[in-house]
Chain A
């Protein structure tokens, strides 16, 4: 079945540590890829997106993601996290020509000061 997989649902790390969240999808063909962040009690905000071109995408708040087509992956990274990065992070995939986003189950990230 087509799906979006995010592993390690709960991640706890200290400030200044590096963060990498994995996202794998099983859709064939062309896809658009997104990472959203949801701060406690708030709505989802777009961190970054990939449509085409350079597979290394820079987003807001120092986040970046790399699209590796051969691995069907779109991993999110941040070199040095801050306490304010405590949030839930969702990967989403939109198969080309489809109007809906398919979301992974999310990664709950807690940054300890």
Chain B
């Protein structure tokens, strides 16, 4: 049973480009969460999705960031017109219900140059 799969592991983008991060939850998990980790900081919640629905996006920046979890395929976190401050590790987690601790993916480390 594969864990939470994130790709790519490392992503380098120039300022102004778009970054697209993918997350496939564990089999049977229908809840997906995205977190951002900055150096010397803990993980900050960004967005919580279920299939085809955004449940809570209160942690998402208002501009340039969007997320989706379509009926088929992985969840996507999209960052448009990236800036240097977007450089961070982005972790996806999934769960089969909201009562248990998440299973995290290995993360995507985004570097904006």
List the interface of chain A (C-beta within 8 A of B): 4, 6, 9, 32, 34, 36, 42-46, 49, 51, 90, 92, 99-106
Contact between B40 and A44, CB atoms less than 8 A apart: no
Contact between B91 and A43, CB atoms less than 8 A apart: yes
A-B contact pairs, 25 of them (CB 8 A): A32-B99, A32-B101, A36-B101, A42-B106, A43-B91, A44-B91, A45-B104, A46-B101, A46-B102, A49-B101, A51-B99, A90-B43, A92-B101, A99-B98, A100-B45, A100-B48, A100-B56, A100-B59, A101-B101, A103-B35, A103-B44, A105-B40, A105-B41, A105-B42, A106-B42
If A42-B106, A45-B104, A49-B101 touch, does A100 touch B42 (CB 8 Å cutoff)? no
Residue of B nearest to A106 (CB): B42
Residue of B nearest to A97 (CB): B98
List the interface of chain B (C-beta within 8 A of A): 4, 31, 33, 35, 40-45, 48, 55-56, 59, 91, 93, 98-107
CB of B40 to closest CB in A, whole Å: 7
Contact between A99 and B48, CB atoms less than 8 A apart: yes
